[in-house]
Amino acid sequence: MKITRINLYRYDISLKAPIAISLGTIEHARNMLVEIQTNESITGWGEGSPFWMIAGETQSSGLAAAHDMARLLIGRNPLDIEGCINALVRYLPAHPTTRSAFDMALYDLAAKAAHMPLYQFLGGEKRALVTDETIYINTPERMVADALRIKEKGAEAIKVKLGTNLRDDIARIEAIREAIGDEIPIRTDANQGWDTITAQAVLRGIGDWNVQYCEQPIKRHDIAGLRQIRQHVAVPIMADESLFDAADAIRLVREEAVDYFNIKLSKSGGIFEALKINAIAEAAGIPCMIGCMSESRLALTANAHFAAARQNVRFCDLDGCFEHADDPVYNGITYNGYQIELPELPGIGAEVDSAFLAQSERISIA
């Protein structure tokens, strides 16, 4: 089998409203699609969701890099996933989000060739997956209203974005906990918004309010600070922006810096690297979460397949499409409340509406 053509798409999806985290505000999901075609009429699809404030990529920079990446893969055997990914890494060691779209398309294509759903191709089986839903930074009143709405929908956990300042962040969690009661766990995420002293103060302040963990309380490079926080607060600590690849995973394990890992395909460079990260975590006794950026149900389905295939993935944060005003994806995962149902189709089992694609800018490399 040979790769004969690769199509790249600007994959713009409107949001219901801007969403705010400590690193900035997102007004549109400006994603990218990669379509890999072969001489055996098997096609693979992948999606990347660039977050400039996290991965240092934009849609435009990603598409420019993708053009060169596509030229490297033309004529290669797409079933040689390791060889294809290593070629991309050697050429452009960075650009993990762009690479993740190619990676996803290669795995989609390989699983289709094997006539298997992706979770089965990865050596797993279908299992129960439950996502949380995220509340973004806003006034305490608006965040309480969102928490009540999510509780009414039957959520088993609520994720709350923090990372502004000591007083306001404690007030947000206090107000939410008072409104929804004590039973539903709250998962917090500061997105690097605090310094070490503030992080410890906030987490001590909210530590008795059934807070399941805190993601990335401080700057990504401060591994010693993560270890210090973990040693002095009761709330478990999860690495997010500190964890891009397997080398980061080894460093975090060596330093005993965190309790959990957050794996995101758009951040890790895709499934190939995510499998390494999870293996390191599993060997070290560190459970993982599968997270997301602002992907459509195409990439969210691939993330869910990965979670189903690896028992060490304990948590799911696959709610990115909840904020989208449009859903251009056929098949793929479905949500029964917050329960995630995987498709049984070969490959990822999701595809983008052709009419939606017809309105999207396309770049073709053959």
Q: Give how far Cα 239 sits from Cα of 24, 172, 216, 244, Å.
A: 19, 22, 5, 10
| Cα–Cα dist 22/37, whole Å | 40
Buried-exposed string 14-38: b where 16+ CB fall within 10 A, e elsewhere: eeeeebebbbeebeebbbbbbbbbb
Which residues participate in catalysis according to the annotation?
Answer: 161, 264
Q: Residue 215 annotated as binding?
A: yes
- Return binding residues: 189, 215, 240
- Return binding residues for Mg(2+): 189, 215, 240
